[in-house]
Amino acid sequence: SNSDLKFHPTILDKSIKGYVLPHASTKYTGNIISHTLRFKPTFKFKKVCILYYPVYNKPNVQNKYYHEYYVPWNTLKYVIRYKWKVYKVEYIGVNINEYDINKISLKDSLIVVSADFSHFLPLKQAIDLENRAAHGLMFRDLNKNHMRVVDDVKTFKILYELIPNNWNLQWIGR
């Protein structure tokens, strides 16, 4: 729901090429999404490529979409159009169970990973594990026990295949 999002002052950043956005309901993640998307890339993108790993075998939103794609897609459509005032953008959902890496182009693309962290954990435990997992993701180290809080690490493996090794990942938005 758009009402779960709050517009904060925009921070322009030329280094931003994409985001990790949650796919849980905006009722629970609107604050994280709002803080993350206040960081706006300055490059001109024509496409938004959303990598997602569906939990279900069949689409579970309107019998057409997987919620892992639907939540970030609709959130980005709203923010990009009404906050960033960018009107011509193509949205591409990449189900990593069906992707062909040769068909994914990052040219003129904002890349987004749809991922949740720490499902149903108490806040104190979740914060510690999320911080460790974020550091693991930033340094492309997916083999630690705390990475189990990331839903789903497979999507990040695909991301690392797509992006150049010299891209630095940063933890912003929370």
> pLDDT tens for residues 114-145?
887 777 777 788 788 888 778 788 888 888 77
pLDDT the model gives residue 174: 57
Could you tell me the CA-to-CA distances from 10 to 6, 42, 128 in Å, in that order? 11, 11, 28
- State the average pLDDT for the chain: 86
Residue 72 has pLDDT above 70, yes or no: yes
Tokens 């309107």 locate to 62
Q: Is 108:47 a contact under the CB 8 Å cutoff? A: yes
